[in-house]
Amino acid sequence: MKRKGIISILFIFLVVLAGCSAGKVKLPAQSEVTDKVLKDVFAEHGMKVGTCISANVTQKEATSNLMVAQFNSCTMENAMKPDYILDQAQSKAAGKPVVKFNKEAISLMGWAKKNGFSMRGHTMIWHSQTPDWIFRKDFAINGDYVDREEMLARMEALISGVFEELKTLGYIDLFYAYDVVNEAWMEDGSMRASNWRTIIGDDYLWYAFYYADKYAPESIDLYYNDYNEQYKADCIAEFVKTLKDDDGRSLIDGIGLQAHLFTADDVTTYLEGVDILAETGLKLELTEVDVGLGKYQGALVNTDTNLKTQGRYCYELFQGLFERADAGKIRMDAVTFWGFSDGFSWRREYSPQLYDSDLDPKYALYGVMQIKEHAGYDPAE
């Protein structure tokens, strides 16, 4: 490329960069707007409020301080997923799946305990982020898959192993909820394909809850967790009715609604889904909330206008949830956001969180906190 071309591209880049930072409208600090923090607002409705955590955010002073000040529940973003908690060499040696939490998981539990957090466990039975060798003979990386009986035994060892390890480590009391199964249903009402299902059969879901109920302490609520829940609500509501033991007792305590939303999604439709799920009588929790700007295949730039839309979206969504909780229409112990800052979010291109990447508050934060005058509305609204 000619020198002149490079210079003009550089110039355009600098102009865009300057435009972006100059464009940021700084909102008043939380302490100027309210004497409450997030966890005070949720406590008023009988709920905890959580964020997902990783060593990346617990080990930095600024992010750790923000989380400790605002939240009182947390979920590991990755460190308790099957890929991270199963030890292949020890499983081979023992002839059954061996659960061993890694250094990150143990340090995150230590951080949570030290800072007075409660925890959600996430997750055990999932089609994704699960080692393929757990399904194969001799825990080998290739070769034949095991049969149904062997796979059920492995499922039992995995689930019992999680609770036993947490007891051994002395952290079991931190946990109040566990996502036993993640994302087993499709939007069209069919069951998602997975190795668990192929090898065991469709009743793998029943067995997952049967074993979890057998080994979990009473203090831990057992959850089914899924995304696009507003479109799967009827299907999930039917499914959870099947999770009963021989005496008709429910093996499941709650439904986790991931709530990976977009500002283009309709709040009313979402709340209708919540109402359908509430009719099951089970507890509900929003487990991974983030509200992206735009839609899945169309992220919007974080202009002040778009951020205001997000603020109003959050205001309306949480107004709907708090009203339902206060009226006893939903039983909701906690809401968990999938992060807290746009800078650390897995969906950062959609700017979906309550604080921006400088950890400054967004309209979305004040929307969730129901502080309407800072949630992105026109003064007249």
Q: Catalog residues that contact ligand GLA under the rule CB under 6 A.
A: 122, 182, 227, 258, 288, 346
In angstroms, what is the minimal distance from the CB of 79 to ligand GLA? 11
Min separation Cβ 187 and ligand GLA, Å:
15
- The verdict on whether 288 is a catalytic residue reads yes
For ligand GLA, the closer CB: 129 or 242: 129
381 is catalytic: no
Nearer to ligand GLA (CB atom), residue 30 or residue 58? 58
Closest to ligand GLA by CB, 187 or 279: 187
**Judged by CB, which is closer to ligand GLA: 83, or 326?**
83
Using CA atoms, how far residue 4 sits from 11, 84, 137, in Å, is 11, 51, 63
Nearer Cβ to ligand GLA, position 118 or 258? 258
Residue nearest to ligand GLA (CB): 346
Which residue in 77, 183, 229, 285 is the catalytic one? 183
- Closest contact distance (angstroms) between CB of 255 and ligand GLA is 14
Query: Looking at beta carbons only, is 41 or 181 nearer to ligand GLA?
Result: 181
Least distance between ligand GLA and beta carbon 99 (Å): 18
Query: How many other CB atoms sit within 10 Å of the CB of residue 34?
Result: 16
Cβ 53 to ligand GLA, closest distance in Å? 12
Least distance in angstroms from the C-beta of 288 to ligand GLA = 5
Q: Which residues are catalytic?
A: 183, 288
